[in-house]
Homo-oligomer: A and B are copies of this chain.
Amino acid sequence: MHTVDLLIEKTMKTKNPSVIGLDPDIRKIPKCYLTDVRAKDPLEAVAEVIYRFNRDVIDTVFDLIPAVKPQMAFYEKYGSCGVAAFEKTVAYAKSKGLVVIEDAKRNDIGNTAAAYADGHLGTVAFLSGNYAKMFDADFLTVTPFLGSESLSPFLDVCRKQGKGIFILVKTSNTSAGEIQDAVTASGCTVSRSIAQYVSEQAETYVGKHGYSSIGAVVGATYPREAAVLRGLMPKSYFLVPGYGAQGGNADDILPCFHPDGLGAVVNSSRGILYTHMSDDERARCSRQEYLEGVRRATLQMREDIYRVLKKNCKKMIY
């Protein structure tokens, strides 16, 4: 099965093309999660808080969303203990039927890129010669700075293992254009040049719903460019950051979608996890109050996006 088909089916079932970024930050996690910690070791205590927090968030929203997007940086910053919490989070999200989009922006060449691809999406060899899955994410974000030969090891693993990647094409931040708007030898921008490569690769790897698991990251903050990129990569799924906290709204994400209401998933991290409550409220609330807030914010985001899609997508199929 193509992993993009699973993402599409979950999107149709939940009537929701939005995903939640699991970015645990102990300075922002409600205080009630920081007490009652069993682990004595300070690193294991942080890892315990992160995993419990994620598990509660997943339990609260798994019926409303197709996927979660854990951002590796927030786990890796706590070293191997943090990475272990990441592994448990991925396994738990998958056990609840969620698609896992790992946001790690990995990039390198040759056998190094292959090592990342094997570890995050594929299988790795043990001393016995047996192979096993490691992180086992469904999708991984990948940075294309080293060119096409840095992407092909990831593409190989996707094809072999039925997995997907989102290649950074146009990111949501204000300095994105410094490199991404530069003009390549073929006369178009870096973003559009990568888009052409993504499209070629996507054409050879299409699932039963007509979309490819070779996708692109396209920020919500550049809607006009998103429309051009949508045209250049008709079969690729888009992962759309920049909604909410970074300034993109429901109208801005519209160009990322096809008339069937598919073709993109929109991410929100802070808006769902943190900013629906003030710092003060997060310092005082109970877990139940907090999780009710998470569910309300998730429903609100679904409603905002669904309303805009329903109104504008002429062939909306869900």
Contact = CB atoms under 8 A, between A and B. Distances in A.
B145 A179 contact: yes
A193 interface: yes
Contacts of A108: 71, 73, 105
Contact of A77 (B49, B115, B143): B115
A40 B42 CA distance: 27
Main DSSP-derived SS at the A contact region = mixed
A190 B179 contact: yes
A109 B173 contact: yes
A199 interface: no
A125 B180 contact: no
A271 to B, nearest CB: 14
Interface stretch (A6-14, A146-154, A291-299): A146-154
A312 to B, nearest CB: 29
Given A119-B73, A182-B182, A147 B176 contact: yes
Contacts of A313: none
Contacts of A115: 25, 71, 73-74, 76-77
A23 to B, nearest CB: 7
